[in-house]
Structure 1
Amino acid sequence: MGDVLRGERTWNGLRIEVVDVVRNGWPLLKAHNQYNDPPLPGKRMLLITLEVQKIETADNKPVSIDESDFKVVGERQEVYNTYSEETRCGVVPDALDGVVIAGRPIRGDICVQVPEQERDFVLIYDSGDSKQPAVYIPLPEGREIGE
């Protein structure tokens, strides 16, 4: 697993830091957009805040990044993405989307629907470049809103 939490970087020079994990982000998503649908029966919305930095590299090329570059997998070994009908959350507040350049980190949220009782989540960064390996980041258990 790529240990990008302790200063390591991804193959394209990114450092991805998990800033916050909210176990049930539905109240925040509902407050952000009244037209968001509630989680499907038996599911909850896992809201993850990330900060992404470009670490100086030889080429120093900017990196485009958005919420679709990330997936989550839990103890059931099922993959949850940000865009499928069964796992997406709707309009996400401060959705992660932008271009990362050296010295200018970006911060944003990603959200996936997961089964209510599932735990032990891992965030997967996979830009879709089949020549490069995915990066796995263990997620903390997270907090409830108001904690």
Structure 2
Amino acid sequence: MKATSPTAPGAPGPTAHRAPSTRDAGEALLRVAHRVEGLLSELAGEHGLTAFQARTLRALHDVSSQGALARQLGCTASRISVVTRELEERGLVRKISSISDRRMRMARPTPEGTRVVEAIGAGLTARSPLSALPEDRITALYHLMAEVEAVPET
């Protein structure tokens, strides 16, 4: 009997006689990403945010320039500008002058923004399907995803 993907009945998938293909791996990655994105949307919604706003707020803990945020989040700098303005209006970020160039304004999370990020992160940790994996598998997965992410686009 042929093995199939757990979420696509009847779809071709790896069998006892065939290793998973690149397509099989990509489809599995998309299914997991969809689950995690859905969970993020739910948790962000509990704080009145979209998943993208939550991702932006989280990224602001590491990066503050609009260009760097846009690259990290895979969007335009103008979208980052709109989202950071929305977060600022909600009191989750504040704009500060750059130390190196006073003309530049950078967004930084407020204490409330940090609290929201921590609450969403705790929810993700508690409910993510990735939390079922042992630490060594999480480490291996992280390194594998970093390797895949580093492959240049064609």
More helix per residue: 2
- What TM bracket, shorter-length normalisation? under 0.3
TM-score (norm 1): 0.26
Q: Which gives a bigger RCO, structure 1 or 2 (Cα 8 Å, sep 6+)?
A: 1
Q: Which has the larger radius of gyration?
A: 2
TM-score (norm 2): 0.26
